Chains A and B, each alone.
Chain A
Amino acid sequence: MTQGPDRAGAAPKSGAASSMEAVPPSPQDGSFESLMVRVQDGDARAYKRLLESVVPLLRSLSLRALRHPHDVEDAVQDILLTLHRVRHTYEPGRPFLPWLIAISRRRIIDRQRQAGRERRREAAFAAEAETFRSPAANNPVVFDDSDLMAAMVNLTPTERRAIELLKLRELSLKEASALSGVSATALKVAVHRAMRRLRGLLGGQS
């Protein structure tokens, strides 16, 4: 009973899936099937290799169906998450790609629907339509980070590093501390001093 429509459906037929013939991806070593079996057993290295090998395929499948780059990226991430969640449903001995493509098609359709809903509901913000009472407020102000970069030269190396990690890259204190090797308290003091000095240097312009 499993052989009937089951096998027939294993071969992708339409749209996104047809790109499979054009771009046959291959993992660096080992077949997808053997990697996937190792993934089910909890092999993290096999998992990393497998996911990295399939991302270009997932991106090309998504690109065929979705127009906006951020939708494509969201779809790729949705597919990766679903793959992670349903990895126990892969049956060893069966081809891996039809399994992955079935998941991908579903998630791409979901993303298409969501993108369609968002387009119907949302309109792009038209900045030029906005006017304010105060004439100065109507001048378009574009944030110029060259001033900030110039002001950063006046900071000590520790302060500069603290600003970079905590404010520009928005890491947590714990992460920034682990990355820089500086204690969380020292980072907190450094970022506080740096902010005060930058405010002093840039204060006149804002």
Chain B
Amino acid sequence: MNGAPEMIETLVRDLRPVRRLAPPFVRATLWLLFVIALALAAGFTLGQPVALWHRLASPAFVVEFAATWLTGVSAAFAAFQLSVPDRSRNWAFVPMAPLAVWLTASGSQCWRALSAGGGWGQGAEPSCFIFVAGAGAPITLSLLLALRRAAPLEPVRTALLGALGAAALCAAALQFFHPFDVTFLDLGFHAAAVALLAGLAALLARTTRTRRG
């Protein structure tokens, strides 16, 4: 029963000043500014911004586009909030609403394309998958690095949210390069890319936690 006093002595001896972590809101904003600036820069220089501008005339597309951005931003905010101990775990549910809107809007667009005589996968290319997974991986990694210093109590849930955020932001940026409506096959590619990123992030978080003991 004498463990705690001895441990206190040891911890007190080991005490060093620490650099305080900035509030999660500030850290999330900084990270998002960096990623969104990168996505917009790539979209405007390498993508087809004019085609995107024309598609924005359709209200259904505007809803989908906005929901994609919102999913990315809210998932990133949620991940940063969960990375410190005393924030509500309910933050994990915040991105679910825009995610539902995003999936519904994409799904209904697919349905319309299918009803209009388009095939299940017309215009769909594996390049979408490669784009979301390829661009999402370094972004997820940068987010996990940013979250690492915070030492989240639930690393797996935090990493899953982070990966969802990164993948959604990439899917939003993809609209610059993907000037046509999504099909079911596209949606499948998106889902696979998000699942792949989320799985890798969770695996990474679990490994890190095991190593830390």
Contacts of B4 in A (CB 8 A): 55, 59, 73, 76-77, 80
| Interface stretch of the complex, out of A21-29, A95-103, A124-132, A180-188 | A95-103
Known: A2-B23, A103-B153. A48 touches B86 (CB 8 A): no
User: Contact at A6–B81, with CB atoms within 8 Å?
Assistant: yes
Give which listed residue, A2, A47, A99, A102, contacts B11 with CB less than 8 A: A47
What count of chain B residues pass the 8 Å CB interface test?
36
A57-82 to B contact mask, C-beta < 8 Å, 1/0: 00100000000010001101100110
User: Contact at A39–B15, with CB atoms within 8 Å?
Assistant: yes
The B interface, classified by DSSP as helix, strand, loop or mixed, is loop
**Which chain A residue has the least Cβ–Cβ distance from B23?**
A91
User: Contact at A89–B15, with CB atoms within 8 Å?
Assistant: no
A84 CB–B CB distance under 8 Å? yes
Give which listed residue, B15, B25, B153, contacts A42 with CB less than 8 A: B15
A17-52 to B contact mask, C-beta < 8 Å, 1/0: 000000000000000000000011111100110011
Report the separation of the CA atoms of residues A87 and B94 in the bound assembly, to the nearest whole angstrom.
27
A127 CB, nearest partner CB in chain B, Å: 25
Contacts of B116 in A (CB 8 A): none
Contacts of A106 in B (CB 8 A): 85, 153-154
Report the separation of the CA atoms of residues A42 and B81 in the bound assembly, to the nearest whole angstrom.
26
**Which chain B residue has the least Cβ–Cβ distance from A101?**
B86
User: Contact at A6–B87, with CB atoms within 8 Å?
Assistant: yes
Report the separation of the CA atoms of residues A42 and B94 in the bound assembly, to the nearest whole angstrom.
37
A141 CB–B CB distance under 8 Å? no
Contacts of A103 in B (CB 8 A): 85, 153
Report the separation of the CA atoms of residues A88 and B149 in the bound assembly, to the nearest whole angstrom.
9
B12 CB–A CB distance under 8 Å? yes
User: Contact at B17–A52, with CB atoms within 8 Å?
Assistant: no
Contacts of A41 in B (CB 8 A): 17
What count of chain A residues pass the 8 Å CB interface test?
43
Known: A40-B20, A77-B4. A6 touches B84 (CB 8 A): no
Tell me the B12-52 residues at the A interface (CB within 8 Å). 12-21, 23-25
The contact sample of 16 A-B pairs, CB cut-off 8 A, is A1-B25, A10-B88, A40-B20, A42-B16, A42-B17, A44-B13, A47-B15, A48-B8, A73-B3, A77-B4, A81-B7, A88-B149, A89-B84, A91-B20, A103-B85, A106-B154
List 12 other contacts, CB 8 Å, given A85-B151, A95-B86: A2-B24, A9-B90, A42-B16, A42-B18, A44-B13, A48-B8, A52-B8, A55-B8, A84-B11, A89-B21, A89-B84, A91-B84
